[in-house]
Amino acid sequence: MTTYKQLMAEKAALEAKLHEVRAKEVAGVIAKIQELMTDYGLTIDDIAKKRGRGRPAQPSNGASKSPLPPKYMDPKTGKTWSGRGRAPAWLGRNPKRFLIAEDAA
């Protein structure tokens, strides 16, 4: 009958062999993928998973949206709100009184 220590030693030996065999196979798979990418002129961007739901990904050139001009202003604190997103509490039930007058050009 085998003992616990013997079984643990066998397990350790099998895990070491698994890691070794996997490393060899992965190296071959990577080489095959690189060869196919070269043959078909593919890049990593062609292979990377595209976002399928929700908002589109932000542009990678670092360009960000400029903030919207404020439409409402609290005269007591000077805080502003663009009219997008959750309305601030200071706006209350009558937002028209906080509207910022647009300059007629």
**Cα 1 to chain centroid, rounded:** 54
Hey, CA dihedral for 23, 24, 27, 29, is it positive or negative?
A: negative
Residues 72, 41: one domain?
Answer: no
DSSP code, position 98: G
Q: Report the domain count for the chain.
A: 2
Tens digits of pLDDT across the chain (105 residues): 789 999 999 999 999 999 999 999 999 999 999 999 999 998 888 888 776 676 666 666 656 678 888 999 998 999 999 988 899 999 888 888 889 887 544
Residue 60 lies in a domain: no
Give the DSSP H or E segment for 73. strand 72-73
Assess whether 43 and 73 both reside in one domain: no
Boundaries of domain holding 13: 4-47
pTM: 0.39
**Does residue 79 lie in a domain region?**
yes
Residue in this structure with the two tokens 């202003």, named with its chain if needed: 73
On whether residue 12 sits in a domain, the answer given is: yes
- 71 shares a domain with 39: no
